[in-house]
Chain A
Amino acid sequence: MTALSAVFARTRRGAAERDGGRKARWTPGRFALLAVALLLALVWLLPLAWALATSFKPESETTKTPLEWIGSTVTFDAYERVWSVGDIPVWMFNSFVTASATTLLTVTTCAMAAYGFTRTDFRGRKVLYGVVLAGIMVPPQVLIAPLFVEMVQLGLVDTYWGVILPQVAVPAMVFILVKFFEGVPRELEEAAYVDGAGRWRVFWTIVIPLSRPVLSAVAIFTFITTWNNFLWPFLVTTDPDGMTLPVGLVNVLSSYGVRYAQVMASLVIAGLPLLVIFMLFQRQIVRGIAHTGLAGQ
């Protein structure tokens, strides 16, 4: 635990220090490194490029050998077909609703809890915090069987709540926020108390704005992991109308048989939202993952 927070603090410092360093010289060695890096980048990009290339081919040419990047014509057929079936927009919407709600609930409840654990005192506080920390050791995957039965009993199978709620209780996020709050000086809050502010006001107007960076890191990480999560939504949704994008793709699309261009087109559509968000917010996302990733897995 302590090692975790140490690295966490270090990455934060690192962000400030970065790019302040030396100017690089273009030695032959560095050119060689560049060549290696470019080759590796190519290797990583090829599968994505192949999916993209296939999605623009006519269906009859998708399994042609030898290898050809561009078919006889470039066609958007596959995209039109998979989009017009109408499943993908619904699944995308479901993903959006569940990922947003999960993120919102996680950020609020975890921030409140972290505030409660660092800035208030009450009987049993330490014990409760200990119970929360112990939860970090419990991977949610171990709980799928009892959790599903619980959902059946609560009548939450095939509902948005059934997808959302079990993904909200992430003790690691509380831990991250507690570590952050502990490092925040209390002077401002104390001044506000002296001015007669209550805890809620201090929480909303001082603590939350001060912790914007770490909260957005938690939010980014939560959104990405819930958007991409497979196992739990896969178990708790059986009605295709309620599936999230990753689950719907697997259960329904693959049943349409071998139409490779269409499958690839649907994958491109499914992968695109987060890729676009990533391109737009690279720095924030990279920093967010580096911050929370260590504890959040």
Chain B
Amino acid sequence: MTAVSPTAAPAPRADLPAGGAAGAAARPAGVRRKWTEHGLVFVTPFLLIYALFLLWPLVYGAGMSLTSQNITGTGAEFTGLDNYAEAVRDPAMWSSLWNTVWFTVLSTVPLVIIGLVLALLAHQLRVVQWLWRISWFAPFMLPSSVVCLLFAQMIFPSGFGFADQLLAEFGLEPGIGWLTDARYAMLSVVLTTVWWTVGFNFLLYLAALQSIPQHLYEAAELDGASAWKRLWHITLPMLRRTTGLVLVLQVLASLKIFDQVYLMTGGGPDDSTRPVLQYVYQQGFTGYRIGYASAVSYIFFALILLVSLVQPWLARRKEDSK
């Protein structure tokens, strides 16, 4: 497969090794390439799948949200912005949107802080690293359904559940409706999520900690700075950018909550934990109103776009003002 064939059919003129740096054009001038060498050939397989399964649904969904289409793809009548108008007036849409945001707030804070604390512990101790990795990160390797069935069936049931039994061991009153009482259900979902995914943030923080240049600490130690001082004045400031990133990723991940709620509370009690993705699922897949579900999806998408655009901007402004 010698690809250099000067006599091949005229190749597109632009077909040169890329790179802004012009020096990269290392090929002997005048060499022409077969069409199979064209850059487009390399990017096409990805672009094809990308266009079919990401771009097209994005456009198609936007179109669907303007119709009364049902899940079988029939019954499509153009209804303009009716679906959006209905969604804006739909209290269930707002409550599910609010539950999503509320879960994000409740989960992001502990997930970032505990992730940081665990990473600091593991980094500081420098012994039995395997133990920390297995206990804090291994749960992240489990499928959501394994985690949720475990918590829903063995940890949270009233009475015989592990959580209640643990309370009883400490002489506290068992019988809490962890997943069935509207006061606790969301917190139980958050608790499960923290247990399950904190390992991911733990890992990102650990990697960041390990890359703080050692000489900073050595210099501080020579100056007689205490461990606390070093933490406050070297470690945490050095982690600021990582924290910003972990925060963005965590917020975006938390906003997409579906599995835990669907599998543990089914959205209840009385829809008090139902997130917006589950509402999309209920409207579109359980209720067949795929057009309306698309409209709700796009409202949700707008929220995500807002967060992913505003958050880095906020972070940058904060950094600049310092």
Contact = CB atoms under 8 A, between A and B. Distances in A.
A/B contact in complex, CB under 8 angstroms: yes
Given A109-B46, A194-B28, A260-B154, A145 B249 contact: no
A289 B72 CA distance: 39
Contact of A196 (B2, B16, B33): B2
A274 B263 CA distance: 21
Contacts of A253: 149
Contacts of B133: 282, 286
B139 A44 contact: yes
Contacts of A11: 207-208, 211
Contact of B143 (A24, A140, A246): A246
B64 A149 contact: yes
A228 interface: yes
Interface string B275-296: 0010011001100001001100
Contact of B64 (A140, A145, A166): A145
A17 B210 contact: yes
Interface in A111-149: 112-113, 115-123, 125, 128, 131-132, 135, 137-149
Contacts of A112: 42-43, 45-46
Contacts of B210: 14-15, 17-18
A82 B246 CA distance: 39
Given A120-B42, A194-B28, A128 B290 contact: no
A36 B60 CA distance: 53
Given A11-B208, A138-B54, A141-B277, A41 B19 contact: no
A280 to B, nearest CB: 12
A193 B17 CA distance: 10
Contact of B142 (A63, A228, A235): A228
Interface string A261-297: 0011001001100110011001000100110011001
Given A37-B132, A260-B154, A113 B60 contact: no
B191 to A, nearest CB: 10
A54 B1 CA distance: 60
Nearest to B174: A65
B279 to A, nearest CB: 12
Interface in A86-125: 105, 108-110, 112-113, 115-123, 125
B219 interface: no
Nearest to B117: A40
A116 B258 contact: no
B50 A171 contact: yes
Nearest to A23: B126
A186 B143 CA distance: 41
A196 B50 CA distance: 33
Contacts of A174: 46
B178 interface: no
A286 B15 contact: no
B142 A143 contact: no
Contacts of B18: 117-121, 125
Contacts of A165: 49, 52-53
Nearest to A193: B27
Contacts of B206: 290
Nearest to A197: B3
Interface in B10-25: 12, 14-19, 24
A85 interface: no
A74 interface: no
A204 B42 CA distance: 12
Given A33-B121, A47-B150, A145-B293, A3 B45 contact: no
Given A150-B57, A260-B154, A297 B146 contact: no
Contact of A249 (B145, B195, B208, B297): B145
Given A41-B136, A65-B165, A116-B42, A152 B142 contact: no
A47 B154 CA distance: 9
Contacts of A152: 71-73
A119 B280 contact: no
Contacts of B149: 249-250, 253-254, 263, 267
Given A14-B210, A145-B284, A166-B53, 15 more contacts: A13-B211, A20-B214, A30-B124, A33-B124, A120-B39, A123-B12, A169-B52, A200-B3, A246-B143, A247-B145, A249-B149, A263-B153, A278-B138, A293-B200, A293-B249
4 interchain residue pairs of minimum CB distance: A198-B3, A14-B211, A120-B39, A116-B42
Interface of A: 3-4, 6-7, 10-11, 13-15, 17-18, 20-22, 24, 29-30, 33-34, 36-37, 40-42, 44-48, 50-51, 54, 62-67, 105, 108-110, 112-113, 115-123, 125, 128, 131-132, 135, 137-150, 152-153, 165-166, 168-169, 171, 174, 186, 189-190, 193-194, 196-201, 203, 224, 227-228, 230-231, 235, 245-247, 249-250, 253-254, 260, 263-264, 267, 270-271, 274-275, 278-279, 282, 286, 289-290, 293-294, 297
17 contacts: A11-B207, A14-B207, A33-B121, A34-B125, A45-B135, A47-B150, A51-B150, A65-B159, A66-B169, A109-B46, A141-B258, A193-B17, A193-B27, A224-B141, A267-B146, A275-B141, A278-B134
